[in-house]
Amino acid sequence: MIQLTEKAARRIKEITPPDDPTRGLRLFIEKGGCAGLSYGMDVGIAQPTDEKLDQDGARLFIAADSLPLLADCTLDYEEELTHTGFKIVNPKAKQTCGCGTSFEA
């Protein structure tokens, strides 16, 4: 299963409505990007087949067809001078692009 850092969990709670347990951060993988596969995420409602993770009130939904490539990943949140946002650390990625949003499995 995917791991959430404390910073990622805190940020998810900030961007999702606390009074609506049906909404959370949804992760998925789609074809595209400069390395072949691309990470996608949005704040929304879980699909019926999504894997659901609740960590300290942070709701994370993972698309069922993306589970094999996202298992054992870590979701972090960074606030750097040149980059602010979620970062996925994926041990299954054979190669990643310079922007960090695309990878080859």
Residue 12 has a pLDDT of: 97
pLDDT confidence of residue 1? 82
Question: With 70 as the cut, is the pLDDT of residue 34 above it?
Answer: no
Rounded Cα distance, 103 and 105, in Å: 7
Mean pLDDT of 66-95: 86
What's the rounded mean pLDDT across residues 30-38?
72
For position 90, what pLDDT does the model report?
Answer: 84
How does the average pLDDT of the chain come out, rounded? 86
Please, what are the domains in the chain? 3-104 (2.60.300.12)
Phi, psi of 46 (to 5 degrees): -65, 145
Lowest mean pLDDT among 21-25, 40-44, 68-72, 81-85: 81-85
